[in-house]
Amino acid sequence: MRLKQSLFRKKRKKESLFKYIMSVSHLWLGLLSSVVVFVVCFSGAMYSFKTQISELLNYEVVFNQETKQTDWIQPDQIKTNFQQKSQNITNIIYPSDFSRNILVAYHDIEEEFDGHYYIHPSTGEIIGSSSRSTGAFFDLMKSIHKNLLLGKVGNHLVGISILIFVILLISGLVLWFPKNKKQWKQGFKIKWSAKWARVVYDLHNTLGFYTFLLLLFISITGLYVSYAWVKSAVVVSLGGQPVLNASNAEAMKGELSNVFASFLEESMDNQEEKKKEANVSLNTLLKDASQRLPYKGITTIQLPTEDNPLYQITKIKQEGIFSAVVPDHVKYGKDGKFKKLVLFSDQSIADQFMEVSLPLHTGEILGLSGIILYFIVTMIACSLPVTGILIWVKKL
Amino acid sequence: MKKLVVLLMAVTLFFSCSEEKRRRGIDFSKLKAELNLTDAQVEKYDAVVASSDEERQKQMEEMKASGKMNRKGFMKIMKTSYTKQEAAFKDFLNEEQQVLVHEFIKKNMPGQSDYSDELKAEIIQTLALDSAQTVKYKAVNQAFAKAFRDAHDHYHGNGEAANMYWNQFNEDRKTALQKIFTEEQYAQYLELIKKENYRGKNERG
């Protein structure tokens, strides 16, 4: 009976109709989505430290234990060292400083095997490969986060629950909004000395308020991945191309044909590039790329493959605690001639958003500090359904 | 009230613990049902599937660890691994079963949104493309693959939209090929691609 009264309570005398609707919908939607929101937030928070945990498990190979020397080994030397063992390098990742080892990916010609080694950043000595994998656990967390291990049905369940969570955040903010000076003070802090019911209420109310903006952002970037219409709306609002559908197919035909034509031009160029043969110095390319991208960062040298005849050097800035972790690329022909500089900042806002939508959702866009911040906020999001239900139970 | 909360939690736990279908690899249990295997074949079949799965898993882990996790790398592992698996099947399957296996793997190759390499090679041979035409034909196919992949951010998670992008870029590919092929070659091309008319229709997005 009390349950029914609580779920279908009447409007209070001094309560506005707007606040009444917000309050009742906050309760109903909260109860409806609470379990899924909790599971999704918890699995997301667990998944956020995947890279860091994996690196910690392989600490002795990932991190440089011998930091006395401070001269980088040059890429040509690395290439020669590997070639002596019949291994063609495909990728070299230079860390931003000497605290880490260099990661080299190679193809073993004799064994027909693709592998990787961490090498010392100064001596080039092979340290080892990261053998301790956390793949199974984090793959499970990722699947739970994305679809609760329920495939397509789970995708929709998560999508709908997060959509509800967005509404809950907004209705929660409306309900948080203080009526008077006393409530203003209460709305910003947790009164730890009060009885547990009040502490729980403050935890829900105050923490919800502080994390509102970031949770709204994380939810929307999550919905962006789940729903085409959210993606389309976000991309179009940022000045990009809408997602192709039956109603805009005719209008977008010309635009997509232009996209195809530009790729065809690039492919034709690549076919010509494949014919070229030259002994290219990776040292020269790295020096040139460093001049074009003069900042501290993680540098990846990608060597030409069967499909892609270009050398590509990618640099990801690693400056400041809250600087955005975004990639810039420099491309060179098979003969080592400079082809193109692709700066992240030169892309349209819509393209930038699409490129970094995932790191924006995970917090990786701000590096480790962003991941920690997102972890804390997501754990608070986990607590919101719990404290919300406790508040409701107390009122029953 | 307590009952309600417990019920909600139990339902979620039940769904969360149910096993998710493998989405990224080929489902060989479907093929198994089509092959009419003998008891002796079943044992060998299961052993090949299990060992190949394990091997692929190792290679995927290696790729992730080497910092090269991308679609191209994924496709390379899948193609090499499934080709090896098909060869392993050949040791104990009859010719009719081998054909079924070949077609099944070709049709269900993960990440294979474009026509198979086998069909592309057949097109070059049947149409008797000269070297200049071959280079251009390959470039057009590469442009198709890149354009479709580049649109991934738009159609991700939306099979219907993926299908529309595929068809649109395929039309652009046909227009480009019309300029490269003779009329006769183009007519032959249209006939040959019917062999894999399932491509693009079931894009998962």
Q: What letter does residue A242 receive in the DSSP assignment?
A: P
Q: Is residue B14 part of a domain?
A: no
Which of the residues A57, A267, A342, A348 would you substitute to probe the B interface, choosing the one with the greatest number of B C-beta atoms within 10 Å? A267
Token couple for A110: 């004799």
**Model confidence at B21, in pLDDT bands (50, 70, 90)?**
very low
**Boundaries of every domain in chain A:** 2-52+135-239+366-395, 70-122
B41 shares its domain with B92: yes
Q: Is the pLDDT reported for residue B172 higher than 90?
A: yes
Q: CA-nearest residue of chain B to A266?
A: B143
Give Cα separations from B17 to A13, A291, B110 (angstroms): 47, 53, 25
Interface of A with B in 23-42 (CB under 8 A): 31, 34-36, 39
Residues on chain A touching B151 (C-beta within 8 angstroms): 244, 256, 259
B14 pLDDT more than 70: no
Burial B163-202 (b: 16+ CB within 10 A, else e): bbbbebbbebbbebbeebbeeebbebbeebbeebeebbee
How many CB atoms are located within 10 Å of the residue B14 CB? Answer: 9
Nearest Cα residue to A326 out of A288, A357, A303: A357
Whether B16 shows a pLDDT value over 50: the answer reads no
At A300 the three-state DSSP class reads strand
The pLDDT tens digits of the residues spanning A97-150 come to: 999 999 999 988 887 788 899 999 999 999 998 877 777 788 889 899 988 998
Q: Give the mean pLDDT of A336-343.
A: 93
Asked if B89 and B119 count as a contact pair (C-beta separation under 8 A), the reply is no
Residue of chain A minimizing CA distance to B144: A260
What is the tens place of the pLDDT at every residue in B133-156?
999 999 999 999 999 988 887 887
Residue of B nearest to A105 (CA): B66
Please indicate if any CB of chain A lies within 8 Å of the CB of B19.
yes
Q: How many domains is chain B built from?
A: 2
Q: Which residues contact A94 (CB under 8 A, 6 or more apart)?
A: A72, A102, A121, A298, A299, A300, A301
How big is the CA angle at A35 (ends A31 and A38), to the nearest 5 degrees? Answer: 115
**Residue bearing the bigger pLDDT, A317 or B140:** B140
Q: Are B56 and B93 found together in one domain?
A: yes
Average pLDDT, chain B: 84
The rounded distance, in Å, linking the Cα atoms of A45 and A48 is: 5
Same domain, B137 and B83: no
pLDDT at A270: 85
Q: Does B9 touch chain A (CB under 8 A)?
A: yes
Of B76, B108, B140, the one marking the end of a domain is B108
Q: What is the pLDDT of residue B19?
A: 44
Range of the domain at B52: 27-108
**What pLDDT is attached to residue A389?**
93
Residues A34-79: tens digit of each pLDDT:
999 999 999 999 998 888 888 888 899 999 988 777 799 999 999 9
Q: Are both B93 and B153 inside the same structural domain?
A: no
Q: Both tokens of residue B36?
A: 């009419």
Measured in angstroms, the CA of B119 and the nearest CA of chain A are apart by: 18
Write down the pLDDT at residue B20: 45
First to last CA, chain A: 10
- To 10 degrees, the CA torsion angle through A303, A308, A312, A318? -100
Test mutation, A223, A244, A393, chain B, max B CBs within 10 A: A244
Q: Is the pLDDT of residue B116 over 80?
A: yes
Rounded to a whole number, what is the distance in angstroms from the first to the last CA of chain B?
Answer: 42
What is the DSSP-derived secondary structure letter of residue A192? T
Q: What is the pTM of this model?
A: 0.75
Instruction: Please tell me which residue, B167 or A8, carries the higher pLDDT value.
Output: B167
Instruction: Tell me if B22 is assigned to some domain.
Output: no
Are B59 and B103 in the same domain? yes
Q: Hey, is the C-beta of A88 within 8 angstroms of any chain B C-beta?
A: no
Residues of B in contact with A235 (CB under 8 A): 154
Token duo for residue A287:
């020096």
Structure tokens at A357: 């939508």
Residue A321 has a pLDDT of 63
SS3 track for A325-392: CCEEEEEECCCCCEEEEECHHHCCHHHHHHHHHHHHHHCHHHHHHHHHHHHHHHHHHHHHHHHHHHHH
In the stretch 93-132 of chain B, residues with CB closer than 8 A to chain A read none
Q: pLDDT tens-digit profile of A160-207?
A: 999 999 999 999 999 998 877 777 777 888 889 989 999 999 999 999
Domain membership flag for residue B124: yes
B63 touches chain A (CB under 8 A): yes
Q: What is the pLDDT of residue B102?
A: 93
- Asked if the interface predicted TM-score (ipTM) of this complex is over 0.85, the answer is no
The residue that leads in pLDDT, B25 or B181, is B181
pLDDT on residue B3: 57
Alpha-carbon distances, residue A379 vs A45, A70, A168, A382, B95 (angstroms): 7, 40, 17, 5, 57
Based on the fold, state whether residues B164 and B192 are members of the same structural domain. yes
Which residues, in sequence order, are bridge partners of residue A94?
Answer: A299
Q: What is the mean pLDDT of residues B155-177?
A: 90
Q: Is B1 on the interface with A (CB under 8 A)?
A: yes
A105 lies within 8 A of chain B by CB:
yes
Give DSSP secondary structure letters for A78-123.
HHHHHHTTTEEEEEEEE-SSTTBPEEEEEEETTTTEEEEEEE-TTT
Within-domain flag for B141? yes
Q: Which of B49, B74, B108 is the last residue of a domain?
A: B108
**Is A4 touching B (CB cutoff 8 A)?**
no
Q: Encoding tokens for residue B1?
A: 């009230």
Q: Does the pLDDT of residue A231 top 90, yes or no? A: no
B68 lies in some domain? yes
Distance CA A83, CA B174 (A): 43
Q: Which of B197, B121, B123 is nearest to B166 (CA)?
A: B197
Query: Which of B57, B77, B108 represents a domain boundary (last residue)?
Result: B108
CB atoms within 10 A of CB A146: 23
Cα B121–B57–B28 angle (5° rounding)?
65
Strand pairing of A87-94 and A297-302? Answer: antiparallel
Residues of B in contact with A103 (CB under 8 A): 66-67
